[in-house]
Amino acid sequence: MVGILSLGNTLKVFPYVFMTHNEIVNDEHQGVKYTFSYCPITKSSVAFKRNGLFRVSGYLFNGNLTPWYEETETIWSQVLLKGILGEKENIQFNTI
């Protein structure tokens, strides 16, 4: 299984075997910074635009991954697509 992200004429492929061990990848394509996150428990993924770096928080929300935004120390919900704790609480992800 893989996650596939379409960026214009480019496809980025994220093998779930790799993502199971990393869960979050911060990347950039043609000046667009984005994060691809994968929750191995629910086998769900999402890609969203970013400014700073996202990391794995170690917490779950409804059994799903919660990325941590280093710059503001905000914890985000992958399933709700928004901040759930911290400075960016209730701010929506800009999904790709």
Helix (H, G, I), strand (E, B) or coil at 22: helix
Asked if residue 35 lies in contact with residue 54, where contact means CB atoms within 8 angstroms, the answer is: yes
Residue-level pLDDT at 89: 96
Asked if residue 49 lies in contact with residue 31, where contact means CB atoms within 8 angstroms, the answer is: no
pLDDT tens-digit profile of 51-83? 999 999 999 999 999 999 999 999 999 999 999
Residue-level pLDDT at 44: 93
Task: Please state the pTM of the whole predicted model.
Answer: 0.91
* pLDDT for 8 beyond 90: no
Per the prediction, the chain carries an average pLDDT of 94
Strand partners, 46: 37
Give the Cβ contact number of residue 6 at 10 Å.
10
